[in-house]
Amino acid sequence: MDTAVVALSQLKNPRTAGLRTRRGNVRSIFRKLYLNMKRSRQKIPGLTLLGHSEKSMPTSPDRARLETFPNPHPQRKYWIRLDCPDFTSLCPVTGQPDFAHITIDYVPGKKCLETKALKFYLNSFRNEPAFNEQVVNRIHDDLVRACRPRILKITGQFAPRGGLGLSVVVEYPRVGAAVAAPKG
Active-site residue list: 91, 98
Number of H helices, E strands in the chain: 4, 6
Q: Are 101 and 37 in contact (CB under 8 A)?
A: no
At 102, is the secondary structure helix, strand, or coil? strand
Rounded Cα gap, residues 135 and 143, in angstroms: 12
E-only strand ranges, 53-163 = 68-70, 80-90, 97-107, 111-113, 151-161
ω before 173 within 30° of 0 (cis)? yes
